[in-house]
């Protein structure tokens, strides 16, 4: 199925959870925030949130620095 992640069309398997997508894309869930179809998703819901075709996901990585 096709979804949009950070403005890019990507293909993923049916029934994939948000947490699995995050891991597949190489993110550490402790260092990101996720917006899914224009709603912020609490980290505790990542493993139970099943992605559907045409969903729009934005993954924002926190950067440290000085």
Taking phi over 0 as left and psi of -120 to 50 as alpha, with beta for the rest, 24 belongs to alpha
What span, in angstroms and rounded, lies between the C-alpha atoms of 54 and 66? 38
When pLDDT is cut at 50, 70 and 90, the band that residue 65 belongs to is: low
2-61: CATH number: 3.10.20.30
pLDDT at 42: 97
Q: What is the pLDDT of residues 1-28, one digit of tens each?
A: 999 999 999 999 999 999 999 999 999 9
Q: What is the pLDDT of residues 37-49, one digit of tens each?
A: 999 999 999 999 9
* Predicted TM-score (pTM) of this structure: 0.88
């Amino acid at each position: 199925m096709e979804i949009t992640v950070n403005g890019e069309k990507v293909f993923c398997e049916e029934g994939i959870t948000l947490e699995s997508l995050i891991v597949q894309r190489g993110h550490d869930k402790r260092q990101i925030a996720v917006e899914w179809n224009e709603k912020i998703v609490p980290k505790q819901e990542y493993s139970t949130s099943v992605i559907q075709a045409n969903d729009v996901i934005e993954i924002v990585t926190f950067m440290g620095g000085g």
